[in-house]
Amino acid sequence: MKIKVIGSGCPTCTKLHQMVLKLKEEKKIDAEVEYSKDISELVELGVMGSPALIIDGKVANVGMPEDEEKLLKIIKK
């Protein structure tokens, strides 16, 4: 699985990236994790908000999940 967080570099975007990394470190997910501050990627995907969570090239979520449990549910879908 490849997970990419795309955002502007704001604290919320950075926090989402850190949450994904934490899930990986805790072995709750097995994924390659990447972070991008290239907003043009959001435009190409048709996303009008950030942070965006992209899983295997598809938009899985836009915005910040409330907590790690909700994030894990989004990733495991």
Domain that holds residue 24: 2-61
Query: pLDDT digit string (tens) for 40-67?
Result: 999 999 999 999 999 999 999 999 999 9
The CATH number of residue 47's host domain is 3.40.30
Q: Is residue 44 part of a domain?
A: yes
pTM check: above 0.85: yes
Report d(CA 26, CA 67) in Å as an integer: 15
Q: Is residue 22 part of a domain?
A: yes
Q: Is residue 56 part of a domain?
A: yes
Q: Is residue 73 part of a domain?
A: no
